[in-house]
Amino acid sequence: MTMMLNVDEKYVSKVENFIASLPEGAVELKNSLDDEIAKRVAEYRSSKMQTTPLMDGLQSIREKLVSQL
């Protein structure tokens, strides 16, 4: 079963303690997308990420769409 919980900040430690009290392997914790988003933003800002301007390649897409009309 997959479950997503929104826990009030004042109860986070209690929930974490409860999860820690369960048998090993009973619960698999996954990070939210915040970590992935932060990593990609940092990569983008450092100029390491290869990006393509929005307008590049749109002409070929337009031509394909027009040909389908």
pLDDT in tens for each of the 69 residues of the chain?
Answer: 888 888 999 999 999 899 999 999 898 887 778 888 888 888 888 887 777 777 777 888 888 888 888
C-alpha span between 66 and 60 (Å, rounded): 10
DSSP 26: S
C-alpha span between 19 and 15 (Å, rounded): 6
**Which pTM was predicted?**
0.43
Contacts within 8 Å (CB) and 24+ apart, 5-11: none
Distance between terminal CA atoms of the chain? Answer: 46
Residue corresponding to tokens 């932060």: 38
